[in-house]
């Protein structure tokens, strides 16, 4: 990590805390709906085994939910601590969905979770079932608002920059909510959570069958999770395709980097199955390509071109020069706010490119004096690390197709009531437990690292959004966060493992 500056350490801290937190979130999303399905069967059949299943998996859900809340609360403080200029610059837009997410998580969702745990003997069966379904829906609504906030960072709609307040301000809350990038990200993310929940249930149930314990509970749990997981895995692939399609409209550089596509190809572009990118020379040393596939997937047409990285760098230069016009007009407005009508008109036309001009702040304070060489360097900064994105994306996609095949086999064996007689598959299922988390973390890496150097796509560079903290401040807080989150992770893992080893015979919630 030689050469890391304050911004890099701030990014590392947020990345680590976010990745820790997201260990618990997807399992909460998936288990909540599985609990609702299991309890529905219990209410309809009144068979005790289904109540026991709901109670057991509910116990594991509760442990996971508690640690997820603890890690989520701490993470939000970093916006004011490490990213104060970001909070000032876009707090008018980002703060609204973040506040709604807090209300959902700490009032609605937490209340429903409490009723789920403590309402079994205080409510009717149907009444408690309704609470369980509302808990599952509330859990997903909580995720919706934070993903709306994140989606706005990927595609900033419904907002303009106010030269008088020097902040982005919301103009259309409906546009922010129904941002197509946010909606696609939401359904893709929650579907990945459903896959995680299904794999969690199948893996633990497979371990029980291998040990010859709790067979009836394990077989029924696999039957529910296999069908739920198969539908979820298929939806992840479909919705991931939709998310990628939207990125070709709003984040062209991310798509080009993910595909290691340096030059614009004739439509429809090929898909690089394997490649060895050379970022310094801006070319691939080797590539194995499937013709036409990327063009069809990325544009859903045979005639639309996907721009290559080198052409996007050239476009970035144009945006930077137009952004300098906006910056010059902004400077005139700030110096003479009462007599700047002409400058305001110029700024109104060119402000969407202001963020590109701010990329030059890495090279000089007075960016209006930037040289052509500095502009070229700033344009080249819009290219993220291609090699890491290329292979991380393929890891995520490969695991996605593995999950489809896995759940098909699980569903088939469960439907034939032969799952307990397939020890090889049961061992595979047990060892597959961490794979959904690996796929999800890879997906978040592609989503967040793929839009660098932007903290808000095309609006605010990441290095410009950080707080003016010292290196010592960052290292102290990073050490505390890593220590705290590691302790929470170890505690959660031990408590979960103990509950799993004890099994459903350990009593009710």
pLDDT tens digits for the chain (509 residues)? 445 788 888 888 888 888 888 888 999 999 999 999 999 999 999 999 999 999 999 999 999 988 888 887 777 777 778 888 888 888 888 888 888 887 777 778 888 999 999 999 889 999 999 999 999 998 888 888 888 988 999 999 999 999 989 999 999 999 999 999 888 889 999 999 999 999 999 999 999 999 999 999 999 999 999 999 999 999 998 888 777 777 778 889 999 999 999 998 888 888 888 999 999 898 999 988 888 888 888 778 788 888 999 999 999 999 999 999 999 999 999 888 887 889 999 999 999 999 999 999 999 999 999 999 999 999 999 999 999 999 999 999 999 999 999 999 999 999 998 999 999 999 999 999 999 999 999 999 998 998 889 999 999 999 888 887 788 888 888 888 888 888 888 988 899 999 999 888 654 44
Q: Identify whether the C-beta of residue 265 lies closer than 8 Å to the C-beta of residue 308.
A: yes
Retrieve residue 124's tokens.
């009717």
Of 21, 154, 164, 17, the closest CA to residue 81 belongs to 17
CB neighbourhood size of 25 (10 A): 24
Taking phi over 0 as left and psi of -120 to 50 as alpha, with beta for the rest, 507 belongs to: left
Of 223, 241, 239, the closest CA to residue 407 belongs to 223
Rounded to two decimals, the pTM is 0.91
pLDDT score recorded for residue 509: 45
Token pair 């991931």 in the structure block, residue: 240
Q: How are beta strands 283-290 and 271-278 bridged, if at all?
A: antiparallel
Q: Identify whether the C-beta of residue 325 lies closer than 8 Å to the C-beta of residue 350.
A: yes
Q: How far is CA 162 from the centre of its chain?
A: 29
CA distance 331 to 313: 26
Signed CA dihedral, 144, 150, 152, 154: sign only: negative
Q: How are beta strands 283-290 and 454-456 bridged, if at all?
A: unpaired
CB neighbourhood size of 232 (10 A): 26
Of 389, 390, 397, the closest CA to residue 272 belongs to 390
End-to-end CA distance of the chain: 46
Q: Identify whether the C-beta of residue 176 lies closer than 8 Å to the C-beta of residue 148.
A: yes
CA distance 76 to 464: 19
Residue burial 418-451, b: 16+ Cβ < 10 Å; e: rest: ebbebeebbeebbebbebbbebbbbbbbbbbbbb
Report domain extents, the chain: 6-251+384-500, 257-299, 309-380
pLDDT score recorded for residue 481: 85
DSSP character at residue 367: G
CA distance 132 to 115: 8
What are residue 213's phi and psi, to 5 degrees?
-115, 145
CB neighbourhood size of 503 (10 A): 16
Signed CA dihedral, 356, 362, 363, 369: sign only: positive
CA dihedral angle for residue 163, residue 169, residue 171, residue 175, rounded to 10 degrees: 130
**Is residue 366 helix, strand or coil?**
coil
Query: Which helix (H) or strand (E) segment is 388 a member of?
Result: helix 386-415
Query: Which helix (H) or strand (E) segment is 284 a member of?
Result: strand 283-290
């Amino acid at each position: 990590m030689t050469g890391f500056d304050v911004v890099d350490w701030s990014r590392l801290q947020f990345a680590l805390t976010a990745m820790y937190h997201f260990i618990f979130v997807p399992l909460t999303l998936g288990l909540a709906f599985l609990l609702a399905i299991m309890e529905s069967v219990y209410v309809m059949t009144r068979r005790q085994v289904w109540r026991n299943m709901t109670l057991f998996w509910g116990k594991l859900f509760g442990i996971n939910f508690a640690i997820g809340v603890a890690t989520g609360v701490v993470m939000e403080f970093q916006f004011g601590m490490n990213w104060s200029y970001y909070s000032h610059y876009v707090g008018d837009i980002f703060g609204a969905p973040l506040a709604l997410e807090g209300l959902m998580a700490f009032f609605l969702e937490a209340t429903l979770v409490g009723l789920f745990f403590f309402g079994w003997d205080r409510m009717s069966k149907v009444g408690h079932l309704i609470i369980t379904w509302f808990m599952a829906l509330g859990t997903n609504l909580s995720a919706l608002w934070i993903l709306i906030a994140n989606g706005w960072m990927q595609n900033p709609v419904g907002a303009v920059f106010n030269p008088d307040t020097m902040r982005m301000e919301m103009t259309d809350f409906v546009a922010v909510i129904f941002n197509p990038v946010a909606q696609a990200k939401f359904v893709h993310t929650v579907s990945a959570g459903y896959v995680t929940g299904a794999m969690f249930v199948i893996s633990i149930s497979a371990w029980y069958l291998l040990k010859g314990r709790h067979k009836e509970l394990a077989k029924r749990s696999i039957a529910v999770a296999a069908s739920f997981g198969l539908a979820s895995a298929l939806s992840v692939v479909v919705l991931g395709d939709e998310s990628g399609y939207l990125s070709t409209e709003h984040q062209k550089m991310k798509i080009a980097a993910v595909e290691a596509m340096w030059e614009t190809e004739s439509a429809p572009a090929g898909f690089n199955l394997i490649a060895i990118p050379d970022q310094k020379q801006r070319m691939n040393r080797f590539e194995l390509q499937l013709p036409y596939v990327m063009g069809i997937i990325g544009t859903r047409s045979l005639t639309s071109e996907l721009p290559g990285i080198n052409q996007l760098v050239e476009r970035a230069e144009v945006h930077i020069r137009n952004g300098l016009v906006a910056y010059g007009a902004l400077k005139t407005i700030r110096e003479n706010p009462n007599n700047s009508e002409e400058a305001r008109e110029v700024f109104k036309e060119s402000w969407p490119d202001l963020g590109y001009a701010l990329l030059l702040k890495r090279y000089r304070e007075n960016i209006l004096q930037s040289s052509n060489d500095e502009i070229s360097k700033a344009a080249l900064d819009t290219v993220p690390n291609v090699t890491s994105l290329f292979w991380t994306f393929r890891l995520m996609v490969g695991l996605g197709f593995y999950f489809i095949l896995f759940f098909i086999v699980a569903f088939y064996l469960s439907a034939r009531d032969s799952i307990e007689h397939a020890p090889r598959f049961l061992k595979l299922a047990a060892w597959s437990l961490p794979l959904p988390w690996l796929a999800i973390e890879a997906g978040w890496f592609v989503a967040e690292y793929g839009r660098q150097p932007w903290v808000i796509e095309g609006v605010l560079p990441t290095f410009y959004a950080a707080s003016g903290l010292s290196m010592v401040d960052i290292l102290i807080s990073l050490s505390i966060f890593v220590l705290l989150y590691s302790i929470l992770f170890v505690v959660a893992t031990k408590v979960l493992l103990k509950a799993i080893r004890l099994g459903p015979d350990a009593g009710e919630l």
